A and B are shown apart, each in its own frame.
Chain A
Amino acid sequence: MSRQSFRLEGGGRIDRARALGFTFNGKRYQGYAGDTLASALLANGVHLVGRSFKYHRPRGILTAGVEEPNALVQLETGAHSQPNIRATQIELYDGLTATSINAWPNVKWDLMAVNNRLGRLLPAGFYYKTFMWPRSWWMTYEKAIRRAAGLGRAPEAADPDRYERQNIHCDVLVVGGGPAGLATALAAGRTGARVVLVDQLPELGGSLLDESAGTGEAWRQSAVAELAAMDEVTCLTRTVVTGYFDHNFLIACESVTDHLGHTGAQPHLPRLKLWRIRAGQVVLATGAFERAIGFKGNDLPGVMLAGAIGTYHARYAVTPGREAVFFTNNDTAYAPAMAMAAGGARVKVADVRTEPGAVADRARAVGIEVLPGHAVVSAAGHRKVRGVMVASLGAEGQVGDPRYLRCDLVGMSGGWSPAVHLFSQSGGKLAWRAADACFIPGVPAQTTRVVGRANGTIGLSALMAEAHAAGADAAKDAGFSGSGDAPTLESDQPEQAPLQPFWSVPAKPKSERKHFVDFQNDVTVGDVRLANREGYRSVEHLKRYTTLGMGTDQGKLGNVPGLALLAEMQGVTVPEVGTTTFRAPFTPLNFGAMAGRDVGEFMDPARRTPMHDLHDEAGAVFEDVGQWKRPFYYPQPGEGKDEAVNRECRAVRNAVGMLDATTLGKIDLQGPDVPALLNRIYTNAWSKLEVGRSRYGLMLGEDGMVIDDGVTSRLGENHFLMTTTTGNAARILGWLEEWLQTEWPELKVYANSVTEQYAVAVIAGPKARDLLGEVTDLDLSADEFPFMSWREGTVAGIPARVFRISFSGELSYEINVPANHGAALWGALMETGEKHGITPYGTEAMHVLRAEKGYIIVGQDTDGTVTPLDLGMDWIVSKNKDFLGKRSLTREDTARTDRKQLVGLLTDDPQAVLPEGGQVVEELQDRPPMTMIGHVTSSYYSANLGRSIALALIKDGRQRMGDTLHIPQPLGGPTLSATVTETVFIDPDGSRLNG
């Protein structure tokens, strides 16, 4: 196990009493509790952590946070494994295992690094230009490219961990727990408003965490304690807000146990929790990202952002090097430089500004050599920086003679970009601030405020005052007051000198191909220049042509420099080339967190009928009908689906079968105007339906197309019961309500769903009357209880409504009982029916039986383009009244006589069953294309007929009776031929159901 030779003797927020072992790329190391994987690696002197995406260049840790583009690792192995996780955000735990991604066979000896030598041949747009020809080779290219360019690997095993989603509401949401976020949350929290404060780190404090003592730390601790004591303030740490959507709806992902590693996780807790936040007011205190500067080899391991060096030094007590050169265009790089110098490192600063100001004097005072008007022009080294060339910069940008400086660390600072990502996601417009060369939030689109460095505010006192005011304002707009005074936190940083915009060292084209702008996607200054030269002059074109900002880091580092370089090349201002729009997610979002617990049995509700358990016991195979579980068929030992369905169909025609029809939609209609409503929504007439009688009806949309059908019965003078198809139950109730509420409010009708109130057992077959007669007090004679009527009585001692209607064409009773009695009813009928040969049948037999009778199923034999006339159901269309959709039936297109019409098809080979959906042709060709004149909508083997039957929608079908048509099966199987027939295959005169 390696020593932590780059760990400082004292300081930091790590717990030196808790040493943690971990493995990186197969080698064991040690770090401390409080480390990130990145800080622990740096403490062990490990800089080389991966290879770049395109050129496979060696890459090191560049940053200390969420913006890290290089240090992506595959965390853990097996089912728990996660790809592409930023080492800078992984909290170290004992036993952690990580490997570099994108390196083959290993990170030190990457065979793909040949791409680096070929870099000249792999410029921007290379994929588009080269692999376009020949087209047929693309598949080959693609496989090779994907293997070479792949990031991490998704685990192949099912994810064993729990993930949760949870909604949370607040008056004020504060994103970011740095000094500005804390001050905002305090100001809002003190008013009593409900505040949610979200921060991605394990501890609140943000940049204040870089001081382990002093006034900043004292204030941080008191602020955190005060917030913790407030009942209405919720602090979510280890939580990243990844999306900001309409109406102040935001998504945040919290690590609940993820940071413990799966060995430490408790099974009842989720790994991640996705928070769905609805906020009244939002305050963004998301800080700023430091920028890199373009110079040759600025991606070598050991070249880091200056601020990151400061963070590793202060927060983790790690010095990433012993001999450092800082390269900056602003004051902020001096603090980490001085911290390193104080720690005993040899430090030089190359500052592009000719007059860096007071900060340079203070640096010199602690022994730092400052080189004003100088730039780092290149970094040298193989897998680690070992020196840099620095040169003076002339007033016109000319580069002087370079000289070599030995170093093992380069800290660069190209200025700071406020983290405007969430503001941009919210719809807010960005504004360019030339003085600081950065985008700042402009006009908000929602009740959004931005404070602190995210708002471009510099200086701790100004930032705290701004944050306090925003917190108080936000609370006030939410109806709360009493924020108290703004905190005063004196900064020991004096006034800053202005930054000098500087994006990349002037250099020859060959060199610029090694000046990296987007480190993750290997986009260089040379690529930007090439894109500009080739005419990709707007930022949106630049992004797509070069892939700038399109990596998993979404260009947190590279977007602004890329844009600024493009503007510079065109000699225009940055806003003139455009601003980028940031989209969700801010950081990559785990799929498990998105799915939450919507997996397995909770993916979709399984709706069960009251008889469900009895079907289960009877061995039913279930079919999903919408969310319902319906018995599909009931196989007996040795039976497959076909045998079971054939047996069930024969039983219904020859004895008696029983079907669970509970799922049919049932709508209770009450009020004096129900007949008027029915007249308007059904195609047929309803006024004269007598109490005790039932009638079949068809509903159309205003476009004249069939939307539903069913039987409606008159229960009383002002009381009706409508049935709908299973899948349309909610939709049809909504349809009635829509018309009643918005168009016909004068109709006195109340519509209520009673689908769930009644369990329905259908008994059908020639023995149905005998069976029912044994268990009911009703008179079942055909005169007393004719077809299309209903009666109220008891069945098996249970109060019931019995409807004599039929979807099978047999003598049939639909018995409705209160749902809590459904299982009892089913059990009693099975028991009594045994001697009659009762056979439970499922939905497949139901489908076959109705097809034998030519009864349609809306949604199967219709598809939203079918009128009643197309179905041959002219008989149900009233000529004497208006109804929804009637006018459409005489539109030119719907009135055509050669539309697709429902007909029967009988195959020449009676044992061949046509494929449902099969296309029907009149004239066979050797191969497609052939003119298709319709398709098969329903097709079954009918055991009762001893042959197959089918329904089809065929163009001009009724004029084709007796014609032979063909159904090719291009995906396999012989072409079948069939004769066009009427749609009723059994008992066309209806004697079975009327008997």
Chain B
Amino acid sequence: MFLIECPWCGPRDETEFSYGGEAHIARPVGGGHDMTNAEWGHYVFHRTNPKGLHRERWVHSHGCRRWFNVVRDTVSHEFLLIYKPGEKPDLPALPKSPEPPDGPGR
């Protein structure tokens, strides 16, 4: 059972939170209408799923209802870094997000 440091409320039990998947996957500008199917599919469906450091989103759903970002080690479950949306801390070197099959996304 994780103890997660909400950037606002402080350390709380995992049961108060919901997991929000991989972080920093921006919605394509304009809704992706000029993207190929493969590019759009990559945005909607593809995730890195690394063993090791992972940037991910959590929301304090039973607390202050705020979303935030973390860097978590998926092996040790250590939360290395926790930051608010919009904050851009120096992130540790992380595995790169794989590129879509037919070229970079926009």
Contacts and interface: CB of A to CB of B under 8 A. Distances in A.
Direct A/B contact, Cβ within 8 angstroms: yes
Interface of A: 245-249, 276, 278, 427, 445, 702-703, 734, 737-738, 741-743, 745, 882-883, 886-888, 891-892
Q: B28, B35, B76 — which one has the most chain A CB atoms within 10 A of its CB?
A: B76
B18 to A, nearest CB: 7
A891 B1 contact: no
A789 B30 CA distance: 32
Given A278-B3, A734-B61, 5 more contacts: A738-B20, A738-B59, A745-B85, A887-B33, A888-B44
Given A445-B76, A734-B59, A891-B37, A741 B85 contact: yes
Contacts of B89: none
B1 A249 contact: yes
Contacts of B19: none
Contacts of A745: 85-86
B67 A737 contact: yes
Contact of A246 (B2, B18, B57): B2
25 contacts: A246-B77, A247-B2, A247-B3, A248-B3, A249-B1, A427-B76, A702-B27, A734-B18, A734-B59, A737-B59, A737-B67, A738-B59, A741-B66, A741-B67, A741-B85, A742-B67, A743-B27, A745-B85, A883-B31, A886-B31, A887-B32, A887-B33, A888-B44, A891-B37, A891-B40
A169 to B, nearest CB: 10
B36 to A, nearest CB: 10
A977 B50 CA distance: 51
B72 to A, nearest CB: 11
Given A246-B77, A742-B57, A882 B31 contact: yes
Interface in B71-93: 76-77, 85-86
A248 B77 CA distance: 12
Given A246-B2, A882-B31, A888 B59 contact: no
Contacts of A738: 20, 59, 67
For this complex, into which size category does the number of interface residues on chain B fall? 20 to 34
Nearest to A250: B1
Contact of A702 (B1, B18, B44): B44
Contacts of A276: 1
Interface in B51-73: 57, 59, 61, 65-67
Contacts of B30: 882
B41 interface: yes
A737 B3 contact: no
A276 B3 CA distance: 13
Contacts of A702: 27, 43-44
B55 to A, nearest CB: 13
Contact of A887 (B20, B31, B66): B31
Contacts of A883: 31
Interface centre among A734, A741, A883 (most CB of B within 10 A): A741
Q: Closest 9 A-B residue pairs measured CB to CB?
A: A882-B31, A247-B3, A249-B1, A887-B32, A741-B67, A246-B77, A702-B44, A742-B67, A887-B40
A247 B37 contact: no
A246 B16 CA distance: 16
A276 B13 CA distance: 11
Interface of B: 1-3, 13, 18, 20, 26-28, 30-33, 35, 37, 40-41, 43-45, 57, 59, 61, 65-67, 76-77, 85-86
A744 to B, nearest CB: 9
A194 B82 CA distance: 27
Nearest to B23: A742
Contacts of B85: 741-742, 745
A736 to B, nearest CB: 11
Given A445-B76, A703-B44, A245 B1 contact: yes
A737 B2 contact: no
Contacts of B40: 887-888, 891
A882 B31 CA distance: 6
Contacts of A887: 28, 31-33, 35, 40
Contacts of B44: 702-703, 888
A743 B26 contact: yes
B93 to A, nearest CB: 22
Nearest to B65: A737
B54 to A, nearest CB: 15
B39 to A, nearest CB: 10
Given A738-B59, A741-B85, A742-B57, A247 B35 contact: no
A171 to B, nearest CB: 13
B1 A247 contact: yes
Given A247-B77, A734-B59, A738-B20, A892 B31 contact: no
A626 to B, nearest CB: 16
Nearest to B69: A742
A484 B88 CA distance: 45
Nearest to A739: B27
Contacts of B26: 743
Nearest to B2: A247
A445 B30 CA distance: 46
Contact of A882 (B2, B18, B33, B37): B33
Nearest to B43: A702
B78 to A, nearest CB: 9
Contacts of A742: 57, 67, 85
B41 A891 contact: yes
B9 to A, nearest CB: 15
Nearest to B34: A887
Contacts of A703: 44-45
Contacts of A245: 1
A961 to B, nearest CB: 31
A665 to B, nearest CB: 15
B1 A246 contact: yes
A296 to B, nearest CB: 46
Contacts of A737: 59, 65, 67
A702 B26 CA distance: 12
Contact of A892 (B37, B76, B77): B37
Contacts of A891: 37, 40-41
Contacts of B66: 741
A765 to B, nearest CB: 40
Nearest to B30: A882
Contacts of A888: 40, 44
Nearest to B4: A247
Q: Which interface residue of B43, B77, B86 has the most chain A CB atoms within 10 A? A: B77
A810 to B, nearest CB: 38
Contacts of B77: 246-247
Contacts of A427: 76
A882 B32 CA distance: 9
A495 B83 CA distance: 55
Contacts of B3: 247-249, 278
A81 B21 CA distance: 46
A743 B2 CA distance: 27
A249 B77 CA distance: 13
Contacts of A886: 31, 33
Contacts of B57: 742
A883 B32 CA distance: 11
A892 B37 CA distance: 8
Which of A278, A702, A703 has the most B CB atoms < 10 Å from its CB?
Answer: A702
A738 B57 CA distance: 10
